């Protein structure tokens, strides 16, 4: 009896006869694979456009970018596209809830990040690691204080 209910449920979900279930699932899986690939390509294009904008703003000294739906992979892609500009400015990249928890990636001139990177993390209740190659990344519970972090980094940059 349970098998019949399962078949009926699958027929309803897939909108096809039981004999066509396998081919319908194959089509759905192929569609999912194609959609996933398209999303990745669009994310790369988006990251490229954002990175160009961030690099154009490097004269500000500290450049911040936040993305609500982002993940660490997206932030790392963005940083990779920023390239050597991180030697001229500090980039503060964040993702997650703008008023709460999220991820951060702070990158800049290695000597600046080594000297000041960890000391500013408490401003966003951040816990992270790194420091190599001028990059610190981790999780933060206080992204609402991002403006305070950026202001502190600006202050530290102006003292150099």
Whether the per-residue pLDDT at 27 is higher than 90: the answer is yes
pLDDT digits (tens, 9 = 90+) for 139-149: 999 989 999 99
The structure's pTM equals 0.83
Question: In the 3-class helix/strand/coil scheme, how is the chain assigned residue by residue?
Answer: CHHHHHHHHHHHHHCCCHHHHHHHHHHHHHHHHHHHHHHHHHHHHHHHHHHHHHHHCHHHCEEEEEECCCCHHHHHHHHHHHHHHHHCCEEEEEEECCCCCEEEEEECCHHHHHHHHHHHHHHHCEEEEEECECEEEEEECCHHHHHHHHHHHHHHHHCC
Give the mean pLDDT of 91-101.
91
Q: Which domains does the chain have, with CATH numbers?
A: 40-158 (3.10.310.40)
pLDDT at residue number 128 = 83
């Amino acid at each position: 009896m349970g098998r019949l209910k399962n078949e009926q449920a699958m027929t309803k979900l897939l909108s096809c006869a039981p004999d066509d279930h396998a081919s319908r699932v194959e089509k759905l899986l192929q569609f999912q694979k194609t959609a996933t690939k398209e999303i990745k390509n669009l994310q790369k294009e988006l990251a490229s456009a954002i990175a160009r904008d961030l690099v154009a703003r490097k004269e500000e000294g500290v450049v911040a970018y936040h993305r609500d739906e982002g993940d660490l992979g997206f932030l790392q892609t963005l940083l990779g596209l920023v390239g050597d500009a991180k030697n001229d400015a500090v980039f503060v990249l964040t993702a997650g809830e703008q008023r709460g928890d999220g991820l951060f990636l702070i990158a800049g001139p290695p000597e600046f990040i080594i000297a000041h990177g960890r000391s500013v993390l408490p401003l966003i209740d951040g816990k992270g690691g790194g420091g190599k190659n001028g990059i610190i990344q981790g999780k933060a519970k206080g992204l609402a204080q991002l403006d305070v972090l950026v202001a502190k980094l600006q202050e530290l940059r102006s003292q150099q």
